[in-house]
Amino acid sequence: MTHLVTATELAGLITAEAVRVLDVRWQLGRTDGQQEYLAGHIPGAVFVDVEKDLSRSGAPAEGRHPLPSTEQVQEAARRWGLDDGDSVVVYDDGIGVSAARAWWLLSHGGVDVRVLDGGWAAWKAAGGDAESGSAEYTPGMITLTDVSGDSLTIDEAAAFPEHGVLLDVRAPERFRGEVEPMDPIAGHIPGAVNLPTTVHIGEDGTLLGADELRANFAAVGVDADTQVATYCGSGLTAAHTALVLAEAGIDVKIFHGSWSAWSNTPGRPIATGA
Which sign, positive or negative, has the C-alpha torsion 43, 46, 49, 53? Answer: negative
- Are 213 and 191 in contact by the 8 Å Cβ rule? The answer is no
CA dihedral sign of residues 229, 235, 241, 242: positive
Residues 6+ apart with CB under 8 A from 184: 263, 264
* Helix spans in the chain (H): 7-15, 33-39, 50-53, 70-79, 97-108, 119-125, 154-159, 172-175, 210-218, 236-247, 258-262
DSSP per-residue letters across 27-51: -TT---HHHHHHH-BSTT-EE--HH
Instruction: Give the span between the Cα atoms of 167 and 170, in whole angstroms.
Output: 9
Beta bridge partners of 271: 188
The residue annotated as part of the active site, out of 115, 232, 243, 254, is 232
- Give how far the C-alpha of residue 258 lies from the chain's centroid of Cα atoms, to the nearest Å: 13
CA distances from 76 to 46, 53, 139 (A): 11, 6, 10
Question: What is the distance between the alpha carbons of residues 25 and 31, in angstroms, rounded to a whole number?
Answer: 9
The rounded Cα 91 to chain-centroid distance in angstroms is 10
10 is catalytic: no
By annotation, the residues acting in catalysis are: 232
